[in-house]
Chains A and B, each alone.
Chain A
Amino acid sequence: MTTYAREPALSAHFFRREAAGLVAALTRIFGVHILALAEDVVHDAFCRAMEVWKVHGVPDNPAAWLMATARNRALDVVRRQRTARTFAPELGRLLETEWTLAPLVEEAFQQGVIRDEQLRMMFSCCHPGLRVEAQLALVLNLLCGFGAAEIAGALLSGRAAVEKRLSRGKRSLARARVLFDLGAAEFAERLSTVHRALYLLFGEGYHGASSAAPVRAELCEEALRLTALLRAHPVTATPATDALAALMCLHAARLPGRLDGAGDLAALGDQDRSRWDRRLVDEGLALLARSAKGGEVSTYHLEAAIAAVHARAPSLEATDWHAIVALYDRLLALSPSPVVALNRAVAIGQRDGAERGLAATRAIADAERLSGYPFYPAALGELELRRGDRAAARAHFHHALSLARNGAERRFLEKRLACCE
């Protein structure tokens, strides 16, 4: 009777974490062409857990309990439906006899197999034929266990749109009949699509993270976790993967300092650097060092290197702006973008003074692409303010405010505007 009282609570997002692994194991058995069956079995296992645990309490190893339940149900489903359906084409006839069925099902739930199947699922979700919004929705659903409503909240889109993206995406997975083969010829190309999707997933969380929207900070955590999954397999643990992981760690380290006491965005110069997560900084720096092996320099290497300079600096003033400008130069050469050019101009402003910074900002080649980006006029305002032209600064901040995309940006820009008085 007292077992209930000493029950350990479930860890945060326990079901979400377990869902992804179970779907991967079951997809190995059933095949991706009947993904919905795997999802049903997981749902069923969750329902059984709910009914039993709410009465008897959480078992000592809840993950193992769920897995055993899903495994038994999978055996049941295959035995009952194998004459009517064709399951995983990759397993061929092995599911047809009892001799091979049980060991196969057992094997599908081994940790290493689950990890590899999750990787293959991740690569399948990042099919170049799918739009990136669909790739992210699929990754969040199948690899992070997010429901449609949670994805809609995290990616700031409508629930109906997310549901449509998911069902189209799953139909496209089903048409492929098998998950992506990590030994395929197009592996390298697909790996870079996967990197890109995880980079965007992290960015969605990082830029939207605020105390009002905690789910968005979770996206950073999920992106980090999935990148760690890539790092755990010898084939996907490339230097670019390490660099991407380094970049995420170094940025995530700054998350606790990004919001001030009132929960508003804080500018880099105003951040309390003692609140940066030193453990993540150290991990990021170690990953960046690892990523140097092999000589390949990706945009992730350069962005991580820039983040590393910031992470090592004791203050905004004592930052090595020479190094940062040089890294932005290389980044711009490798992957030209007006946002990168703007960041470079801001760094020049720090290195050479506001006049030079303004000149660099005005010289951005395709600045018209920044016309809807509030941090373009905000950067101009910042530089004018430092130069002492308060009227010009005010005008730029007013313009920036008119472009603000959310409350956090608005409050941040209002504060900057107040500094012009």
Chain B
Amino acid sequence: MAEFVFLYRSDAGQRKKAMGSPDAAQQSMEAWMAWMRDLDAKGYIKDHGQPLEEEGKVVRGTKQLVTDGPFAEVKDLVLGFTVVKARDLAQAAELAKGCPILRGEGTVEVRPVMEMRPPQ
């Protein structure tokens, strides 16, 4: 088993649409919970991860310049992550297909976590 990080990305318009009315919000929420619960029940979840605030600061360069950002309006904003366990990258990508974020135009980026032990 290897570990993978799912990075959830979306943009403001899509997020607003998914939460457009209270009932739409409820449907989105229920879809997410069902997906997470399913992954959890099958033992694929290593860490549920953390949701991220939409706005923060960016520190850049040798001058350690601090600017505001990214902004909520930005496209492909990272909203949060989950750590999953899967056989290989192909299986991890297969698992990501169930993510409700895909019903809007959001994406799931699947990134293998680097092996920490030295190669045998």
- Residues of A that sit less than 8 Å from B by CB: 1, 4-5, 7, 9-10, 13-16, 18-19, 43, 46-47, 49-58, 145-150
Provide 24 A-B residue pairs closer than 8 Å at the C-beta atoms, listed in order of the A residue: A1-B45, A4-B40, A5-B41, A7-B37, A9-B30, A10-B26, A10-B29, A15-B22, A16-B21, A19-B22, A43-B16, A47-B19, A49-B29, A52-B51, A54-B33, A54-B51, A55-B36, A55-B50, A55-B82, A57-B33, A146-B22, A146-B23, A147-B20, A150-B21
* Cα-based distance from A98 to B15 in the complex (angstroms): 34
Structural contact, A147 and B24, CB atoms closer than 8 A: yes
Question: What distance in Å separates the Cβ of A72 from its nearest Cβ neighbour in chain B?
Answer: 14
Q: Taking A7-B33, A16-B21, A55-B50 as given, write out 13 further A-B residue pairs in contact, using a Cβ cutoff of 8 Å, ordered by the A residue number.
A: A1-B40, A10-B30, A14-B26, A43-B16, A46-B25, A50-B29, A51-B51, A52-B51, A53-B29, A55-B48, A55-B82, A58-B33, A145-B21
Tell me the complex Cα distance, A148–B49, Å.
34
* Contacting residue for A15 out of B23, B51, B82, CB 8 A: B23
From A1, A19, A46, A145, residue with most partner B Cβ within 10 Å? A46
Bound-complex Cα distance A47 to B21 (A): 11
A43 to B18, CA, bound (A): 11
**Residues of B with C-beta under 8 A to A53:** 29, 33
Complex contacts, A10 vs chain B, CB 8 Å? 26, 29-30
Interchain nearest-CB distance for B57 vs A (Å): 18
Q: Measured between C-beta atoms, what is the minimum distance from B23 to chain A in Å? A: 6
A149: chain B residues at CB < 8 Å are 20-21
Given contacts A1-B45, A1-B48, A55-B80, whether A13 and B22 have CB atoms under 8 Å apart is: yes
> How far is the CB of B10 from the nearest CB of chain A, in Å?
11
Q: Which B residue's beta carbon lies closest to that of A43?
A: B19
Q: Are B22 and A16 in contact, CB atoms less than 8 angstroms apart? A: yes
Q: Which residues of A contact B80 (CB under 8 A)?
A: 51, 55
Residue in chain B with minimal CB distance to A58: B33
CA distance A47 to B29 in the complex (A): 10
Which of A7, A9, A54, A150 contacts B23, CB < 8 Å? A150
In the complex the two chains form, what is the Cα distance from A337 to B79 in whole Å? 59
Beta-carbon nearest neighbor of A19 in chain B? B22
Q: Give me the 6 closest cross-chain CB pairs, A-B, nearest first.
A: A147-B21, A51-B51, A15-B22, A54-B32, A16-B22, A145-B22
Residue of A nearest to B82 (CB): A55
